[in-house]
Homo-oligomer: A and B are copies of this chain.
């Protein structure tokens, strides 16, 4: 499995993805699930993905090739994030149409999901979730985040903490806590964690970082969170049976 989150706040966006890929428990490896594209001052795009790795890689390759060969429309030429989402959905459909039947012969799932966000000059920042079928939905202020993969363990903390007005720093912290909870309860999600920030209206990728399992901040965060949760637990009122 995989765990990826993207959150859109008033101040911008944060994307994060884990790096564990497994085909059975004896075939575990590390693959980056995050891609960024930018033309500084004009557009900044961030992608994370989950699902069949061959399918997501083939989809990204197809999108890359269109850019390199100047095939129109492509990710660097379209004028709206909506078109970006459409291009990703179409590429995903093509790959699954081509490879899906062969995978099905061996009962291999060709499903894959993308979260795509960013901003193109002349338009507001936008965030989309692209389903395995190639259709997609856009985030709104009421639901400012998308998750893919092993989403449940890390959802409660996001639901409790993040809203549109949350600052970038707190959003990053919340995402890392969400990963910490997920990795503690589920072996199929693992370090390193890739993180990318986008400051609204910047039109360039902001800070990016790869947190590995020895990252000193990640270790301190994990310890501080564990202690804080235990403290919160210790302060709960005694059970009363009415």
Contact surface of A with B, Cβ cutoff 8 Å: 150, 152-153, 155-157, 159-161, 169-170, 172-174, 176-177, 181, 184-186, 207, 209, 215-217, 220-221, 224-233, 235-242
Q: Which residues of B contact A220 (CB under 8 A)?
A: 237
24 contacts between A and B (CB under 8 A): A152-B185, A152-B186, A153-B153, A155-B185, A156-B156, A156-B185, A157-B229, A160-B184, A160-B226, A169-B239, A173-B239, A177-B233, A207-B241, A216-B242, A217-B237, A217-B241, A217-B242, A220-B237, A221-B236, A228-B228, A228-B229, A228-B232, A228-B235, A229-B229
CA distance A150 to B155 in the complex (A): 13
CB atoms of B238 and A169 under 8 A apart: yes
Smallest CB separation, A163 vs chain B (Å): 12
Among A170, A174, A185: residue with most chain B CB under 10 A? A185
19 A-B pairs besides A177-B236, A228-B228 with CB distance below 8 A are A152-B153, A153-B155, A155-B185, A156-B185, A157-B233, A160-B230, A161-B230, A161-B233, A170-B233, A173-B236, A173-B239, A174-B233, A217-B239, A225-B232, A228-B232, A228-B233, A228-B235, A229-B229, A231-B231
Inter-chain contacts of A236 with B (CB < 8 A): 173, 177, 221, 224-225, 228
* Cα separation A216 to B221 with both chains bound (whole Å): 34
- Smallest CB separation, A173 vs chain B (Å): 5
Chain B residues with Cβ below 8 Å from A216 are 240, 242
Residues of B within 8 A of A159 (CB): 184-185
CB distance from A162 to the nearest CB of B (A): 10
CA distance A161 to B186 in the complex (A): 17
Q: Which residues of B contact A217 (CB under 8 A)?
A: 237, 239-242
Cα of A9 to Cα of B37 in the assembled complex, Å = 52
